[in-house]
Structure 1
Amino acid sequence: LHNAISLSNEEAVKFLLLNNANPNLANGRGSTPLHLATEKHLKPLVELLLGRRSTNVNAKDEDQYTPLHWAAQSGDEAITRLLLDRGAAINEPDGQGRTPAHVACQHGQENVIRVLLSRGADVRIKGKDNWTALHLAAWQGYLGIVKLLVKQAGADINGQTVDGRTPLHLASHRGQYRVARILIELGADVQMTTAGLNTP
């Protein structure tokens, strides 16, 4: 089944599923056929796999990524919607505690963030070292996502990482000055200090 998906062979996938191929069997990376079809943006194959009631939409690979994490990372809005329609866990953490929203923010996938927010994603969840989706967007300099998270999603603009850094600290440190300016305009506290007593 993995090989048929790797070759984008829809007929072979149909044939194998009709002959009871296991849609949840993982390869050496822990990826199920659904992970693979999502990674490769093969929406028709994702639909075929999700057509089997036994397909686990929340299966995790070796990095603890679900198919929804892969769709979020690659910016595939259509597959994101499809997975959510079939019960994908919207706030499921990966091995680093990152939800699909974290991953979409880290990779600048604003279209997917909009879908996730419209379906109730919680952007206040803290991943490893207490990084939120807003910390990742500020660090990477994704201005549109930063605005969206603060204005529409209620992200904590002054949330601190384990070492005390706010999104403003991170944007300033990385030279993301447009993001820093917007954060200040939106109410970021310029006096907050990190564990090392540094202000932004």
Structure 2
Amino acid sequence: MSTKEKDLTLNFEAVCRAAQKGNVDYFRGISQHFREEWLVRKCNQRSGDNILHIAARFGRLSILEFIAKELFASHGMKWSVKKLEIFDSINADRKTPLHEAAQSDHLDCVQFLLQQKVNVDSMKRADWTPLMLAIAKGNKEVVLQLLNASANPALVNKDGWNSFHLACREGNLEIVKLLSDTKADLWKVASKNGRTPLHTAALHGCKDVVHWLLESCQHPVDAEDSCGNTPLMDAIRMGHTEVAAMMIEDFKANIMKTDRLGYQLLHVAAQSGHLASVTYILINFAVDINAVSFKNITPLHLAAKEGHKEIISCLLSHGANIYLQDEMGRTALNIVENNNHSDCVQILKQQYS
């Protein structure tokens, strides 16, 4: 590396620090040649960030304004032509400065970048837009700015999730309603594995969003994903018994549904390890505690495989049959022994004495 290149690298590190701290005076002291050189230069090969990415991530509006108003405006057509290209530049994750500002909740930087006519729907790696990142952070004002700039909430990422899915996952009902106002049927979407916004909200225990989807959107309460899971199963799987109770009592969710493996609600609860879910089902519903799946697997078998000691004890106290065998001829005791769940072995052995 030549002396000039070493000096350029060293000084560029100082430029990056200045961008991070919002030190505009430092930029004003840089010669015209170096300004142009550093504007397109990456901070490092791993991140691929340039000065704009850094300024947007740290909310340094003054740096973005300097680059747009003083640097580009004063250096002729050459840089005017490149302005939009540089403001839409991508790093190693294919994130633009707008992605960085939206993800970091810097409303003023988001507004300024949108004024520069950047691509509001640019997609980073995994096909996430700035709107998706803003929704994941839960910043309503940033979301509103992006929507006002015609961000498309119906775009999907690599998993088939759109912005509405993400809003339902985060449980921010204000943002959910805001997105719905832009496109009334936005909720009518399923991911690549068939999961709906209701699945997502139920899985994450977002009770208000679940209620709104069922009441205001008339979302099918027993919608199935590609594995046959219903939103009720997802709520039970994660121990969200209040959400499950609401879905059953107020919206008549079907507690007898089975998934593609033939698992019923109690199977799902036993496998998940949430004692609250198992207890809720056993106390409130007349379910078959020894119900078998397509492979003769009972809830006790699933709890045994996962080593859920409390679940095993609960099922046994409610009459689970320890002698039932799965299609491979294994009892729950065989399963815990095979999986080295020694504490569970003792619980089951006591039932044989």
TM-score (norm 1): 0.88
Task: Please point out which of 179, 195, 198 is paired with 2:294.
Answer: 195
CA distance in 1, matches of 2:298, 2:193: 27
Query: Where is the helix percentage greater, Structure 1 or Structure 2?
Result: 2
Shift of 1:188: 5.3
**Relative to structure 2, which stretch is displaced further, 84-93 or 159-168?**
84-93
**Aligned in 2, Cα 1:159/1:188: closer, same or farther, shift over 3 Å?**
farther
**Highest CA radius of gyration, 1 or 2?**
2
Task: Please point out which of 143, 149, 152 is paired with 2:241.
Answer: 143
Aligned residue pairs total 199
- Percent same amino acid among aligned pairs? 27
TM-score (norm 2): 0.52
Unmatched runs of 5 consecutive residues or more in structure 2: 1-97, 300-353
RMSD between aligned residues: 2.1
Residue of structure 2 equivalent to 1:102? 199
Query: 5 Å matches for 1:87-98?
Result: 87=183, 89-98=186-195
Residue of structure 1 equivalent to 2:173? 77
Unmatched runs of 5 consecutive residues or more in structure 1: none
Residue 277 of structure 2 is aligned to residue 179 of structure 1: yes
CA distance in 1, matches of 2:199, 2:139: 23
| 1:26-62 deviation line (CA, Å, top 9, x unaligned) | 112211111011011111011111113x321111112
Task: Please point out which of 30, 34, 49 is paired with 2:131.
Answer: 34
**Aligned in 2, Cα 1:92/1:188: closer, same or farther, shift over 3 Å?**
farther
**Relative to structure 2, which stretch is displaced further, 172-181 or 9-18?**
172-181
Asked if 2 retains the 8 angstrom alpha-carbon contact of 1:157 and 1:188, the reply is no
Asked if 1 retains the 8 angstrom alpha-carbon contact of 2:102 and 2:131, the reply is no
Task: Please point out which of 156, 159, 172 is paired with 2:254.
Answer: 156
Shift of 1:20: 2.5
Shift of 1:18: 3.0
CA distance in 1, matches of 2:286, 2:221: 17
Shift of 1:178: 3.9
CA distance in 1, matches of 2:177, 2:271: 35
**Relative to structure 2, which stretch is displaced further, 112-121 or 150-159?**
112-121
Return the structure number with greater relative CO, CA threshold 8 A, min gap 6: 1
Asked if 2 retains the 8 angstrom alpha-carbon contact of 1:38 and 1:71, the reply is yes
